[in-house]
Amino acid sequence: MTRQGIDISSFQHGSSVGNYTDGNLPIAYKETTDYLRQQSGGVDPFVFIKGTEGSNYANLAADGHTGFIDDFKGFAAEGAIPILFHFARFGVSAADQINWINAHKIDGAKVFIDVEEGGFDGQNIDTIAAIARQLVETFDGLYTNVSTSNALSSYGAPWGKPHWLADPSNVDPTSPRLFTQYGQGTIPGITGTVDLDRCDDEATFSALFPAAKPSQPSAAAMVTNAPTSTQINVEAFTTQLPTIWIGSSASAASVKIAQSLLTLRGFPLTVDGVFGHISFTEVKAFQAAVGITQDGIVGPATWLHLFVGITEIQAGSTDSTSVKIAQSLLSLGGFTTAVDGVFGPVTRAQVLAFQRARNLTADGIVGQETWAALSGA
């Protein structure tokens, strides 16, 4: 499994203007780290923490509020790999910023330099590249986006240092990457939305953080970290689902659910909400495969077999079949997520959104109540 991480700033503490003194929402370091470790298959996750910006701003603790130092120590105590990042400002000399970072960084911490178009401060690319190069060469890595990466590539960026790329579209930059910031989601232990990251080069990561637990843990360790499965009583809601046949008045939404389930069970169909002869034929083939009456009608027995075996799932669940079914049904309902069988932060965020929209308990767990709602019952 791929090593996972997040990046955070004062916004995770309730700030609206980028200062820890404006809010004090706590982060449950253990809960967050344990969740990320599950998503990483048992290996140590990483957490990027905004520390400083330019040469006059630091996310320091004040008046009893949490600052980046507390976040760094809190995550480190739980076995996560905390990494600081600094927002480069190009109206400030590299020397001033280097002195500022060194005055505020935590001893031994790795520091990545954030270089983005929004931080260009009206400077031309030559000035930007010169300052960014000095900062990156002094510290440990470069954070940027695809367009800025490609603009700086002719200047040698990332100058022999690891590259952390904001790239939700997965467009390849000119420079190689170590980390990718691939999206946003909600995770246990932190209020609100966070940026989600992954490690794309385990060898470089291990060289940069030699104390980190290596990737590829044993299968036993992965099973130990996975939530246990609870079977769902599917008959409790499949008996409430509409019967579908050619010419029936069943809604397109119900037909799409049946077509999606058939596809996931190995009887592929175009999920178009139209129950025609092709759908009829695939239903009969499915019915023959599971040993029930082959009438081409999606009734109680067929619905039961389409859903049978699903389990209660949540972040870290290893029942990929149930996860794929839930992801497919979420997407059909407008809560789009990749149907990949991995219950990660994005899937959890969509489950929470679905639960809130349906006035269900918003816990991010797809249990009996949420499965029934996803089925359309």
Q: Is 274 buried (19+), middle (13-18) or exposed (0-12) by CB count in 10 A?
A: middle
313-344 per-position pLDDT tens digit: 988 787 888 999 999 999 999 999 999 888 88
Collapsing DSSP states into helix, strand and coil, what is residue 112? strand
User: Which DSSP helix (H) or strand (E) runs through 22?
Assistant: none
- pLDDT band at residue 255, thresholds of 50, 70 and 90? very high
- pLDDT band at residue 225, thresholds of 50, 70 and 90? very low
Q: Would you list the DSSP string of 44-95?
A: PPEEEEEEEETTTEE----TT---HHHHHHHHHHTT-EEEEEEE--TTS-HH
- pLDDT band at residue 1, thresholds of 50, 70 and 90? low
Homologous superfamily of 235-375: PGBD-like superfamily/PGBD (1.10.101.10)
Range from 125-139, 228-242, 278-292, 356-370 carrying the lowest mean pLDDT: 228-242
Residue 103's pLDDT is: 87
Residue 48's pLDDT is: 95
Quickly tell me which residue has 């407008």 as its tokens: 334
Domains 4-221 and 235-375 share a fold: no
Mean pLDDT (whole number) for 297-319: 89
Task: Say how many C-beta atoms besides its own lie within 10 A of residue 369's C-beta.
Answer: 14
Residue 174's pLDDT is: 61
Q: What is the pTM of this model?
A: 0.60
Question: What CA–CA distance (Å, rounded) separates 221 from 344?
Answer: 18
Q: Is the pLDDT of residue 215 over 60?
A: no
Q: Is the pLDDT of residue 51 over 80?
A: yes
10-31 per-position pLDDT tens digit: 777 766 544 555 556 778 899 8
346-355 per-position pLDDT tens digit: 899 999 999 9
Check if CATH label 3.30.420.40 holds for domain 4-221.
no
Quickly tell me which residue has 């929209």 as its tokens: 357
Bridge partners of 311, per DSSP, are: 231
Share of the chain above pLDDT 70, in %: 87
Collapsing DSSP states into helix, strand and coil, what is residue 197? strand
Alpha helices by DSSP H, the chain? 29-39, 68-77, 94-104, 125-138, 146-152, 202-208, 219-225, 235-238, 252-264, 277-290, 300-307, 320-332, 345-357, 368-375
- pLDDT band at residue 176, thresholds of 50, 70 and 90? low
Question: What CA–CA distance (Å, rounded) separates 363 from 298?
Answer: 32
Residue 216's pLDDT is: 44
Mean pLDDT (whole number) for 249-273: 92
- pLDDT band at residue 62, thresholds of 50, 70 and 90? low
Q: What is the mean pLDDT of the chain?
A: 84
- pLDDT band at residue 172, thresholds of 50, 70 and 90? low
Q: Please state whether 126 falls in left (phi above 0), alpha (psi between -120 and 50) or beta.
A: alpha
Q: Is the pLDDT of residue 177 over 50?
A: yes
- pLDDT band at residue 213, thresholds of 50, 70 and 90? low
Residue 84's pLDDT is: 94
Higher pLDDT, 5 or 317: 5
Q: Is the pLDDT of residue 226 over 50?
A: no
Q: Would you kindly state where each structural domain of the chain is located, as residue ranges?
A: 4-221, 235-375
